[in-house]
Amino acid sequence: MGGRKVMVQPINIIFSHLQKVGVFFYYPQHNRVSVWLYDNNEFRIEAFVVGFDEFMNLVLDDAEEVYDCGAKPGKEVQPRRELGRILLKGDNITLIQPVTA
């Protein structure tokens, strides 16, 4: 079984990020995810996954909008904006990736 690839369901990947979240300690930095939004390349959302459902709606904690300053030249924006805990509808999600330090 060395070279055999196994198909993984997207919901299982989201669940793996949810399992890493601890209740009795502050979330480690490597558990944060970056969520790319559908039809929006100006910013991404970085947060901790604390819940989801079968429609891939996500409950995100300590969420922040992270702006791409190069997306709209000449427009002054703050690089980050704190949102807190949010519910992100699954229809708006394009990609979920772990945040790298």
Name the more confident of 22 and 90. 90
Contact yes or no for 58/51 (Cβ under 8 A): yes
| Fold of the CATH domain 27-98 | SH3 type barrels. (2.30.30)
pLDDT above 70 covers a percentage of the chain that reads 75
9 or 54, which is more confident? 54
Stretch 29-39: mean pLDDT:
83
Domain spans, the chain: 27-98
Would you say residue 35 has pLDDT above 90? yes
Each residue's pLDDT tens digit, 38-66: 999 889 999 999 888 989 999 999 999 99
Under 8 Å between Cβ of 56 and 90: yes
